[in-house]
Chains A and B, each alone.
Chain A
Amino acid sequence: MNDYNFAYLDEGTKRMIRRAILKAVAVPGYQVPFASREMPMPYGWGTGGVQVTAACLRPDDRLKVIDQGADDTTNAVSIRKFFQRTARVATTERTGDATIIQTRHRIPEAPLSEGQILVYQVPIPEPLRFLEPRETETRRMHALQEYGLMHLKLYEDIARHGEIATSYAYPVQVSGRYVMDPSPIPKFDNPKLSNCPALQLFGAGREQRIYAVPPYTQVISLDFEDHPFVATKAPHACDLCGDDGSYLDEVITDDAGRRMFICSDTDHCNSRRAAGHVGALTGDAA
């Protein structure tokens, strides 16, 4: 199947997207409008991420695709297959071996390194959207760095609940300037955004926006001095690999509502188990 150009998009479109990426890298956290194309998968399935990945891919790249931290979720499989077919690039499940990682909702547990690109799929790029539905208005607010509304929302959370009641897509400020939506990653992942050696690119296809966090850029999760940001996770260790520092999925295992906790990052969990780590449910069986 080689009827399509390398990585599906035509060269003119890729050039247009690369220009938007360059601008995004030059102005960290700023949402650059781009002429998003209609892709052969639906909006909401990662069309923004797919276009960014397509624009960055080279034939010698090694691609990893994850959804919910896992390489084997259906949409991750589907997107990986798309690039195998249209770009014939090598793929991998190993975080360390990948040159480009496209992700939905997670940052891998293993630290990223220089030269890697992490591409996020973004549904709603505008962190202020749920406070102000108008694009014309939110663009003005960013231009004037008028972020009072966001701080007010966080303050109201504390007044009502005693803590900031945002657990994912937790807003950040990039390089002391733009407030940015880190995509719907759990706030557990937020600290990994900052000072990351890899280039982080964010693509929102339906909303036609690209933004970026260049390597080694400071990214701060919004908080208050007396209510500092805390990265949270389920208070358990992985039942398969025993890690108590990784982000966990909760799996209901029977009709009585019993549950187990396992690493959301499948590569992380598999690597640990291969290295001999065991969890509560694998201790004896292993």
Chain B
Amino acid sequence: MYVAVKGGERAIDNAHAFLAEARRGDPTVPELTVPQIREQMALAVARVMAEGSLYDADLAALAIKQARGDLIEAIFLIRAYRTTLPRFGSSRPVDTGTMAVVRRVSATFKDVPGGQVLGPTFDYTHRLLDFALAAEGAPPKAPKAETLGPMPRVGEHLDREGLIEPEPAPDPACAPPPPDLTRTPLELPAERALRLQALARGDEGFLLSLAYSSQRGYGRTHPFVGELRIGEVMVEVEIPELGLTIALGSITVTECETVNQFTGSKTQPAQFTRGYGLVMGHSERKAIAMSLVDRALRWQELGEESTGAPVQDAEFVLMHADNIQATGFLEHIKLPHYVDFQSELELVRRLRAAAHDHESKQVPEGQEAAE
């Protein structure tokens, strides 16, 4: 006899309790603290802040703990929290030229004013598992550099010679306040400011693959890393009622500007062009990928031809970059669909029966099998 699938409510409560227990793991192992995650999983925290579009390292660390280390789930927790926050206004554009730099490299010049600053990078580490880390030890110490002054951007040196396209002037129509993807539905075609906003909160893996595809020939962008810089910038807000600007604090950002070949056109002489990436937190891979994707999406504006590559297709890129949307829609197919499946079952049964009838009718008369 059929037992109805009752008790959904109790099943959900029990599943949640099981999840909480599994999240904690073996209780004889000390529990992770939020500051530990914030300090020692800093790049995971940075990714959650960037794709969660909320700069708060403690909340991001908490989300990572709650999500059992699943970063997309942690990003989702941050996004869901972020929507409940009121929006006071928009800040002034951050000035990355005055950034307090911890890392800054250029691949286009051997040396640049301000110097090449490696900072805390994996780049030249040998990827050998450090078994010493399995034990606790004294905190490692690094030598201190003297404080670095503000560094001019590498692009400015090319700009002075006219070798690179001038930075497009900000569109007066969209300033201020700039468009906000989270408050108005995305409409296509989207202007560059909006595209960059979508990319900045887009999935790192998706942007990485798109950028990689463009390097391998699907919409080639010929990029050089003109400059990659990571450091702290001041966030300032204008208070029009008081007629003054106040500093809210500083945030870490990663900025990448690529220099790309452009052969020129009938009206324009050959010139380098720019691709731009800016990501909250320390996130080099994503900033570089973003600048390649940004450059590839500019083909129309620069009078290039589309090769039909995915990375050149703004609608394709923008509609599929958000991992919270993507994972939700992907995973929802595990929810019950038996009503629709039932209608498909009947359809396939009916079509098969019709095909069967049709076949048996084609048997010559007199030879019909007795059924």
Contact = CB atoms under 8 A, between A and B. Distances in A.
Contacts of A42: 76, 324, 327-328, 331-332
A184 B5 contact: no
Contacts of A187: 343
A68 interface: yes
Nearest to A161: B351
A72 B6 CA distance: 6
A34 B84 CA distance: 17
Nearest to B7: A72
A251 B2 contact: yes
B8 A43 contact: no
A163 B350 CA distance: 10
B183 interface: yes
A190 B187 CA distance: 31
Interface string B1-25: 1101111110110000000000000
Interface string A38-76: 111011110100000000000000000001110011111
Contact of A72 (B4, B332, B339): B4
A239 B84 CA distance: 47
Contacts of B315: 134-136
B266 to A, nearest CB: 29
Contact of B339 (A186, A206, A239): A186
Contact of A105 (B182, B337, B345): B337
Nearest to A166: B347
Contact of B5 (A72, A134, A250): A72
Q: How large is the interface on B (under 10, 10 to 19, 20 to 34, 35 or more residues)?
A: 35 or more
A120 interface: no
Interface in B184-237: 184-189
Contact of A136 (B2, B189, B327): B189
B350 to A, nearest CB: 8
B344 A168 contact: yes
Given A43-B325, A135-B319, A232-B343, A285 B84 contact: no
A135 B319 CA distance: 10
A218 to B, nearest CB: 24
A274 B76 CA distance: 44
B336 to A, nearest CB: 5
Contact of B2 (A234, A247, A253): A253
Given A38-B324, A234-B342, A239 B2 contact: yes
Interface in A189-209: 206, 208
B185 A35 contact: yes
Contact of A81 (B7, B9, B184, B187): B9
Contact of A208 (B185, B328, B343, B344): B185
B328 A74 contact: no
A248 B12 contact: no
A206 B329 contact: yes
A32 to B, nearest CB: 9
Contacts of A69: 339
A281 interface: yes
A43 B339 contact: no
Interface in A164-188: 165, 167-169, 184-188
A4 interface: yes
A156 interface: no
Contacts of A228: none
Interface of B: 1-2, 4-9, 11-12, 76, 79-80, 82-84, 86, 182-189, 315, 319, 324-325, 327-333, 335-340, 342-347, 350-351, 354
Interface of A: 4, 10, 33-40, 42-45, 47, 67-69, 72-78, 81, 105-106, 123, 134-136, 161-163, 165, 167-169, 184-188, 206, 208, 232-234, 239-240, 247-251, 253, 260, 262, 264, 266, 281, 285
7 interchain residue pairs of minimum CB distance? A44-B332, A43-B328, A167-B343, A42-B328, A33-B185, A186-B343, A77-B8
